[in-house]
Structure 1
Amino acid sequence: MTHWQYVGKIVNTRGIKGEVKVISVTDFPDERFATGALLYVHDEKNSTYHPLTVTGFTRRKTFDCLTFKDYDSINAVEKYKGCSLYVPREQLSELEEGSYYYYQIIGAQVMTDTGTRLGRIKEILSPGANDVWVVETEGKDLLIPYIKDVVKAVDTEKKQVTIHLIPGLIDHED
């Protein structure tokens, strides 16, 4: 059975030559949308995945624009508006140690190195030099920088992250 990894959504067409606008959620758009890459568009009506081969990729302000082999007109791609794009998880590259796919981190339990449960990672922000993991707690969300002084262990099998609380990480004023 294939496990699918969501990489983006086709939100509109662009021009008349078969180009589509995609809101991308992939960690590696340059690799995922490279010429020759194979993506699968999900047809929700009959739950099928149809392969599309990327022939062009450009980055616009808030969108990635893609073209596909054998789809060279607006009429050919119009039917995919609103559809999601996937790749088989088996197609994902092995990452170097200390790097993770978002799906491996989102939903993980966060524990301190002293055994206190803090909450679950609900999203990942990429504001600059390092990612920031947003932890949903019973109170305010915590923002955990993905740096080695803070993140001590990541167990993707158990979906658990162990962190070290450095001064200033948790606001004690309520």
Structure 2
Amino acid sequence: MSSAPHSNEKKLLVGKINGFFGLQGWVKVFSYTKPRVNILNYSPWSIDVDGELQKIEIKNGREQSKTIVAHISGIDTREDSQKLIGKDIYIDKEQLPELNEDQYYWHELIGFTVLNHNKENLGLVDYFVETGANNVIVVKGIKEHWIPYIEPYLVSVDSKKKEIFVDWDKDF
């Protein structure tokens, strides 16, 4: 799964409703999951309604050309679907598949301390970037470090201590 811009302790931002599709209440969805269509594997979704997250059930969904479309229970007209445009889509983190012991979702690593081979504190994990060639961990400290999230730069992750060890010079 790709990183999402925001999450809280129990919810994870996975997409956004960004348009309506057709006349029967379907919506277009921008998905932060990878691959994009995986957003349809999670139901129910939650959306913000007047400051509170409300669960919504997905009746149907599919990839449509280069976008994802979904039909939400109780949303059966174009007018109903237009009211949802711009709403962020959240899921419960418990809905995510279990990973192996040495695998992590990016949202789990946000806030971890990043230390280099000299045990110098480079800062905290702020977010991740997909560059196409490889993923990058963005570390904010005294200065900002963009460190490739691949070997040999990524040495190890200690989830108990919330630390990531990298082979990276503090001045680079």
* Partner Cα distance (1:60, 1:81) in 2: 19
Q: Does 1:7 align with 2:14?
A: yes
More off after superposition, 79-88 vs 68-77: 68-77
* Partner Cα distance (1:93, 1:99) in 2: 11
TM-score norm. by structure 1 comes to: 0.77
Trace 1:130-149 onto structure 2 (pairs within 5 A): 130-139=134-143, 141-149=144-152
SS in 1 for 2:139: strand
Question: Any unmatched runs of 5+ in structure 1?
Answer: none
SS in 1 for 2:28: strand
CA gap of 1:114–1:85, structure 2 versus 1, over 3 A, is: same
Trace 1:45-60 onto structure 2 (pairs within 5 A): 45=50, 47-58=52-63
Question: Conserved in 1, the CA contact under 8 Å of 2:15 and 2:29?
Answer: yes
Query: What are the superposed Cα offsets for residues 35-82 of structure 1, whole Å, 9 maximum, x if unpaired?
Result: xx4132323415142222251122665x54333345343123222222
SS in 1 for 2:83: helix
Letter in 2 for 1:42: I
**Structure 1 counterpart of 2:69:** 65
* Partner Cα distance (1:77, 1:89) in 2: 26
More off after superposition, 14-23 vs 85-94: 14-23
**Structure 2 counterpart of 1:108:** 112
Match of 1:42 among 36, 47, 55: 47
SS in 2 for 1:30: helix
CA gap of 1:54–1:154, structure 2 versus 1, over 3 A, is: farther
SS in 1 for 2:118: coil
CA gap of 1:60–1:113, structure 2 versus 1, over 3 A, is: farther
Q: Does 1:160 align with 2:160?
A: no
Match of 2:125 among 121, 125, 128: 121
Q: How many residues align?
A: 164
CA gap of 1:49–1:157, structure 2 versus 1, over 3 A, is: farther
Letter in 1 for 2:25: G
* Partner Cα distance (1:5, 1:68) in 2: 19
Identity score, percent: 27
* Partner Cα distance (2:43, 2:142) in 1: 41
TM-score norm. by structure 2 comes to: 0.78
CA RMSD of aligned residues (A): 2.7
Letter in 2 for 1:122: D
